[in-house]
Amino acid sequence: MANDGRWHRRAMLSLGGAALLPRQARAQGSANWPERPVRIIIPFAAGASHDVLVRMLAEQLQVRLGQPFVCENRPGAGGNIGTEAVARAAPDGYTINAATIGTLTINQFLYTRLPYDPLRDFVPATLIWEGANCLFVSAQHNPSRTLAEFTAWAKARPGGTTFSSAGAGTTPHLAGELLRMRAGIPATHVPYREGGQRVLDLASGTLDFAVDNVSTYTALLEEGKIRALAVAAAARWPTLSEVPTMAEAGLPGLEVPTWGAFAFPTGTPPMVVEKLAETVRRIAGDPAIRQRFLRAGGKSVASTPSDTAAFVALERERWQAVVRASGARIE
């Protein structure tokens, strides 16, 4: 019986050691991450500003970490299709969510049914870029040169005004609604499927204004066909240093930033999450990269996983109130 007891104890110890092996293997694998190509799923179409910025960052990640970071576009449903794909992926560090302000904060309050839970299904790693929305008007068809002049012009329009966006619940839509409410101007939202057309319609005077991403209008700004009146941000935008913020122009509190972030499926080893965040931080510190990002319409930024999670939580709280006030809802 004694021998049987010793055998039983040895067997249990052996089994316990075997149970530890997968855990030890995972830890070792995390330390060596990445050991094979990494997928970055971009939940929007190729060529959009978010897509361009993420691909620029993916190139740098490959250089610094020695493995391909392959960008895969899965657009549709306001970013929900691609985001759901990451939520269902294995939490092994080899699938990254190229998230945005929409997919991590706005969509949960906009869509009646969301195929993922942005709080439960993802571990934020780092912010990767920041952008700004700006009030734009046609240089040829709108006499306004300041926010005050625009407000007076809009209030005097017999039939009210129109503003555009890429769809209900996007930051240009919500920014336009905030401007309408806070400036007290009559305005009707006109959603567009095709971004280029709404830019051309603004320049031609078919639309009256837009509060949209700076990068979307860069070309027509340079050609003098679009005029920028005020930036919906806490500080002036580097490439539009002569354009005041909304607060400077007389409308405080109207700040509608845009941003992108990297997130992993919940359960991804913390060592992987930290390593990605640290690598992005080093990339964001490169002056040449910062200039490339600015030319593409965004600021290159980085943050720790804990800071990113705290930031996203605050953004959720803020945008819940904004979406509710706008009345936007998508079935």
Specify the pLDDT at position 148: 97
- State how far the Cα of 100 lies from the Cα of 172, in Å rounded to an integer: 14
Specify the pLDDT at position 10: 45
Specify the pLDDT at position 195: 64
What's the full length of the chain, in residues? 331
**All domains of the chain in start order, with CATH:** 36-130+257-326 (3.40.190.150), 132-240 (3.40.190.10)
Beta bridge partners of 95: 39
- 254 three-state secondary structure: coil
Beta bridge partners of 113: none
Neighbours of 170 (CB within 10 A): 23
- In eight-state DSSP terms, residue 209 is B
Specify the pLDDT at position 11: 43
Closest alpha carbon to 208 in 231, 221, 189: 189
Per-10-residue mean pLDDT, the chain, length 331:
46 46 54 95 89 96 98 92 97 97 94 94 97 95 96 95 88 91 94 82 96 87 95 93 96 91 98 98 96 91 97 92 83 78
Could you give the count of Cα atoms lying within 13 Å of 83 in the half-sphere of its Cβ?
30
- State how far the Cα of 166 lies from the Cα of 140, in Å rounded to an integer: 23
For residues 205 and 138, the answer to whether their CB atoms sit within 8 Å is: yes
Residues 6+ apart with CB under 8 A from 249: 146, 147, 148, 229, 230
